Amino acid sequence: MLCGAAHQQDPPLAVDLPLKLGREALAAGDLASARNHIREAIRRSPGDPELIALMLEACAGDGDALSSWGLDWMRAAADERGHGQPPPVLRA
């Protein structure tokens, strides 16, 4: 270890693997598994409206979860005037 060496920041956590696994689980209809993987992707990239929209798909049929994640999506996707184009699951 060198004295005075510049401290390097850790690279950002990749969302690729949990996102891939979440999409696969969603396509297979395994919503519980999809939610777990997508939640991990969101943890690694908080506030990403696309990831939150995917979580909304995984929460289909769960009104409480849709309400909660819908609020998170609105905070992440809204413009300065509070407008956003909701994903299809929120338009139903």
Place of tokens 């060496």: 5
- Predicted local distance difference test score (pLDDT) of residue 84: 82
- Apex CA 44: angle with CA 20 and CA 36, to 5°? 55
Say if residues 26 and 34 touch (Cβ distance below 8 Å): yes
In a domain, 8, yes or no: no
- Measured at the alpha carbon of residue 64, what is the angle toward residues 58 and 65, in degrees to the nearest 5? 30
> How many domains does the chain fold into?
1
Dig out the tokens for 87 from the structure.
């994903």
4 versus 61: which is more confidently predicted? 61
Is 84 within a domain?
A: no
Q: Is residue 9 part of a domain?
A: no
Residues 30-65: tens digit of each pLDDT: 999 999 999 999 999 999 999 999 999 999 999 999
Q: Residues 45, 79: contact at Cβ < 8 Å?
A: no
Q: Which two tokens stand for residue 29?
A: 């209809």
Question: Domain containing 38 — which CATH number?
Answer: 1.25.40
Query: In this structure, what DSSP letter does residue 45 have?
Result: S
